[in-house]
Amino acid sequence: MVTTVSLGACSGGSGGHDAVMPAPGNVSASNLVTSAPLETAATSATIPVYWLGHSNEAVYLYREFMPAVTLDDPIVASLRAMMTRKPADPDYFSVWNPPSRLGASISAKNAITVDVSADAFGQKVDQGIADRAVAQLVYTATAAAAMAGLIDSSSAVQVSVLVDGHTGYNAFDHVRLSKPLTRDSGFVAPVWIIDPAEGAAANGTPLKVTGQGASPTGALQWSLSPVTAGQAEGVYLSGGVSVPAGPGVLGSYGFEANPIPGTYLLSVYIRDPSSPGKQIDPDTKLVTVTGP
């Protein structure tokens, strides 16, 4: 049997469902991720931005790298992108509004302070999305600081959020910003694809795939489905890849595939042992492979 999936059905989009958490399901692996290491310092013309993203019955944090288009300092540049730009992957989204004022500073004690105007919190969301949106800010600010070499990535980093210069703001009417925040590993996606990016074109084969993931067995599954007229049809290639960090530990993975030229939906996911055809916490990317 050939299974046909509309790519629109895979997309998180920007509708009202982004304001509320999906109904709880029984296939989440979110409790697998118990730590979320900081990014490492790197020289790049891109900036790190974390987004919220739909995966099955859950919403997680995913990271993209975006072109730097402002002269802001690294933390402000990443946060401004998070609040004003759109993710490349249509499965990702943000509930932040463009702020009229945004600033950031770092103390000698590895503490980041972000000061943002109240208009950034204008959207109406539920508790779960509010928690994740605040975590999105923390992850983006710390990633930007770490990659720019502004903080000691080997030590704990805290983020204090001021709103119009004051502490204690009730973010999205759900999260009281009264104390410093740290990365909450429970919000990080158990599986995500880092490269190729959404919409990437790969010149020839092999198609090289890298990402991060965690699974109970220390192994992930992947598949490539041909895309025609916006529809992903069946599975053309599939396989497994190990996460060297081991079972239940978030770590890097990588593999290569050799498809013929064409456009594909790349999926990486955790296999559901109770239902072999079920994908737990998948991440997907649309990728085009060109000749020769």
Domain boundaries, the chain: 38-187, 191-290
Residue 31's pLDDT is 60
Residue 27's pLDDT is 40
The pLDDT tens digits along the chain (292 residues) read 334 455 554 444 445 568 887 755 444 445 667 666 677 666 568 999 999 998 888 899 999 999 988 788 999 999 999 999 999 999 899 999 999 999 999 998 899 999 999 999 999 999 999 999 999 999 999 999 999 999 988 888 999 999 999 999 999 999 999 999 999 989 999 999 999 999 999 998 899 999 999 999 999 999 999 999 889 989 999 999 999 988 888 899 999 999 999 999 999 999 988 887 788 999 999 999 998 7
| Cα separation values, 103 from 141, 143, 290, Å | 11, 16, 43
Q: Are strands 279-290 and 200-203 parallel, antiparallel or unpaired?
A: parallel
Residue 9's pLDDT is 43
Q: Are strands 279-290 and 251-257 parallel, antiparallel or unpaired?
A: unpaired
Residue 289's pLDDT is 96
Residue 178's pLDDT is 97
Domain 191-290 annotated CATH 1.10.600.10: no
C-alpha triplet 68, 70, 72: angle, nearest 5° = 105
| pTM score of the predicted model | 0.86
Is the CB of residue 151 less than 8 Å from the CB of residue 157?
yes
